[in-house]
Structure 1
Amino acid sequence: MKKSDRYKRLTDIIDDPDRVRCDELLSHYTFTKTGGKADVLILPKTYEEVSAIVRFAGVNQLPVTVLGNGSNLIIRDGGIRGIVIHTMKLNAIRLQGSSIIAQCGAAIIDVSRFALRCHLTGLEFACGIPGSTGGALYMNAGAYGGETADVLSHAVVADRSGRLIELSRDQLEMGYRQSAISKHDYIALEGTFTLEKGEEEKIREQMDHLTHLRESKQPLEYPSCGSVFKRPPGHYAGKLIQDSGLQGTRIGGVEVSQKHAGFMVNVDHGTATDYIKLIHYVQKTVKEKSGVDLQTEVRIIGEDK
């Protein structure tokens, strides 16, 4: 099927032509400011639209990739074939008793701020995580001693046939940077966070403290993909990289941050290929010097140019 034909048929599902975009440059949607083009990028507004897109893709044998905030992600320079669903317009957050229900495209930072306004405690750890709610569910995102699994009670997902499924806490199988959503390649649509009543001032103080820690330690002044590597058992990735003398190492326009060795920053029009080459070089060097295998936390998807 030609892209033009694909575009025309998808507008039968999505009634707004601006939400179906052919040959869209994905560097506009990633924190690293890298990534090639999507054959077709779609911005659904409802879960029913997501289901219809997935069913359409199945009938037409097209791959489907889902993007949220694009924070812990590297998209290769050749882009992504098939359909890319971007969740930015699925961003509603609402209160239900002492629970907060957030759609997948809502920034998890915004969910934590919503909890603050509702005087609910439990999501303070998320106040500096730059990803989407969907991303947080997918990888059980965490920071500063807290993680999504601590407060997530259930989620709504779509499977790859387009069927909507509600998963309980136990069914979500949350582990370190993984979940049943990533294991079964579900599309996260909604999460319900069960919180406790707290004092607004204490919640705000904790969030301010964590924000200060993040701003003082992380290289937020440059585009990056966040924490590149998972924490190795008994070690810290950043410390291993620092002890290997790798801070400031640069390939192309991408550099191991001199502020925090666990980050790689785009300092001079770097490409996804630069990122990937630097990741491999760091893994090789750390293995040689410490014997530790660093595993990537950042997702790397798409095709080489």
Structure 2
Amino acid sequence: MLLRENAPLREYCSMRVGGPARLAAFPETAEELAALLRAGGRRVVLGGGSNVLFPDEGYDGTVIFTTRLCGLTADGCMLSAQAGVPLSAAARRALECGLGGLAFAYGIPGTVGGGVYMNAGAYGGQIADCLVRATLLDAAGEPRVVPASELALGYRSSALMDGDWTLLSADFALVPAPPEEIRAEMERNMQARREKQPLEYPSCGSTFKRPPGQYAGALIERCGLKGCTVGGAQVSEKHAGFVVNRGDATSADVRALIAHIQRVVAEKTGVLLECEVRIIDNE
């Protein structure tokens, strides 16, 4: 297992901000992950770091990255993936097997673990649509298989956000479909991302959850905040629902800009935008 002391978190997080972690750990087996959980202490478990902000001073604990837990198998219409498998890789494997139901996940910048954690979704699909069960580890590293119906999967939320459970793997029930149709859907979704999203800059993806009946990006643009900057952080000029790092942003810049957006939108529209990004502190 790779262990790295004083690991610069900006190297592991998609926004490219954040100070050093006291220790970064990269387990390669379920047993190694369980041992890290049993060790206790301040810790946080992440996948690819695509939807998270650490403070500029760093994290005084252990950051466990599951990216080396990358087992991926298909059996009939069931696709089983460990927590560190990129969602795009899972979608590609489903395509190879002629299985539909995961095309929406192609291009989502996250892992299976993070996808289940927040019930990731895009283009009319979400993890809850095809997840059958998940294998979780408790704080003592003991496994438990939990049906999807017990995970309280909602809009960008799940029961995993409120408990001390870590996802080890997930099983998805998919449906046979013509590969050319699956590939076409994946390509349409990816083309839409390229056209509408600021993929050329580091970001955490969509910064805010969608308010009921509205779109965060449209509200932000309506309030005149498109292109607004704080330090090196900017409301994307391409899609106002994204906060991007123009190259020299700090975590403090990003947080300050998020707070500014929330304040202005609330004052002008009465809508309080809920941040979708997971903000981690040392408290």
Query: Is 1:211 equivalent to 2:190 in the alignment?
Result: yes
Q: Distance in 2 between matches of 1:169 and 1:300?
A: 26
Deviation of 1:184 (Å): 1.4
Q: Distance in 2 between matches of 1:197 and 1:268?
A: 44
Query: Is 1:176 equivalent to 2:155 in the alignment?
Result: yes
**Contact map agreement 1:78 1:302 (CA 8 A) in 2:** no
Aligned to 1:187: 166
Q: 1:225 aligns with which of 182, 204, 212?
A: 204
Counterpart AA for 2:162: K
Q: Distance in 1 between matches of 2:273 and 2:58?
A: 26
Deviation of 1:183 (Å): 2.3
Query: Is 1:100 equivalent to 2:84 in the alignment?
Result: no
Query: Is 1:34 equivalent to 2:17 in the alignment?
Result: yes
Q: Secondary structure at the match of 1:128?
A: coil
Q: Secondary structure at the match of 1:100?
A: strand
Q: After the TM superposition, which of the residue ranges 279-288 and 177-186 deviates more from structure 2?
A: 177-186
Deviation of 1:302 (Å): 2.8
Deviation of 1:188 (Å): 1.1
Query: Is 1:25 equivalent to 2:8 in the alignment?
Result: yes
Query: Is 1:162 equivalent to 2:145 in the alignment?
Result: no
**Contact map agreement 1:98 1:195 (CA 8 A) in 2:** yes
Aligned to 1:109: 88
Q: After the TM superposition, which of the residue ranges 120-129 and 76-85 deviates more from structure 2?
A: 76-85
Quote the RMSD (CA, aligned, Å): 1.1
TM-score (structure 1 length as normaliser): 0.91
Q: Secondary structure at the match of 1:30?
A: coil
Aligned to 2:281: 302
Report which of the two has the higher share of helix: 1
**Contact map agreement 1:55 1:162 (CA 8 A) in 2:** yes
Query: Is 1:76 equivalent to 2:55 in the alignment?
Result: yes
Deviation of 1:268 (Å): 2.7
**Contact map agreement 1:25 1:36 (CA 8 A) in 2:** yes
Q: Distance in 1 between matches of 2:164 and 2:252?
A: 25
Gaps of 5+ in 1: 1-15
Q: Secondary structure at the match of 2:273?
A: coil
Deviation of 1:171 (Å): 1.3
**Contact map agreement 1:139 1:179 (CA 8 A) in 2:** yes
Deviation of 1:161 (Å): 2.2
Q: Structure 1 stretches (4+) deviating beyond 2 angstroms? A: none
Aligned to 1:120: 99
Q: After the TM superposition, which of the residue ranges 173-182 and 239-248 deviates more from structure 2?
A: 173-182
Q: Secondary structure at the match of 1:116?
A: helix
Deviation of 1:82 (Å): 1.7
Counterpart AA for 2:156: R
Query: Is 1:87 equivalent to 2:66 in the alignment?
Result: yes
Gaps of 5+ in 2: none
Counterpart AA for 1:166: V
Query: Is 1:234 equivalent to 2:213 in the alignment?
Result: yes
Superposed counterparts of 1:46-61, under 5 Å: 46-57=29-40
Aligned to 1:12: none
- Could you report, residue by residue, the CA deviation over 1:202-246 in whole angstroms, capped at 9, with x for unpaired residues? 111111111111110000000011000001112110000000000
Deviation of 1:83 (Å): 1.5
Q: Distance in 1 between matches of 2:148 and 2:278?
A: 24
Query: Is 1:263 equivalent to 2:242 in the alignment?
Result: yes
TM-score (structure 2 length as normaliser): 0.98
Counterpart AA for 2:115: A
Q: Distance in 2 between matches of 1:54 and 1:69?
A: 18
- Could you report, residue by residue, the CA deviation over 1:87-144 in whole angstroms, capped at 9, with x for unpaired residues? 1110111112211101101100110011001100000110120101100010000001
Deviation of 1:185 (Å): 3.1
Q: Distance in 2 between matches of 1:185 and 1:146?
A: 27
Counterpart AA for 1:136: G
Superposed counterparts of 1:1-16, under 5 Å: 16=1
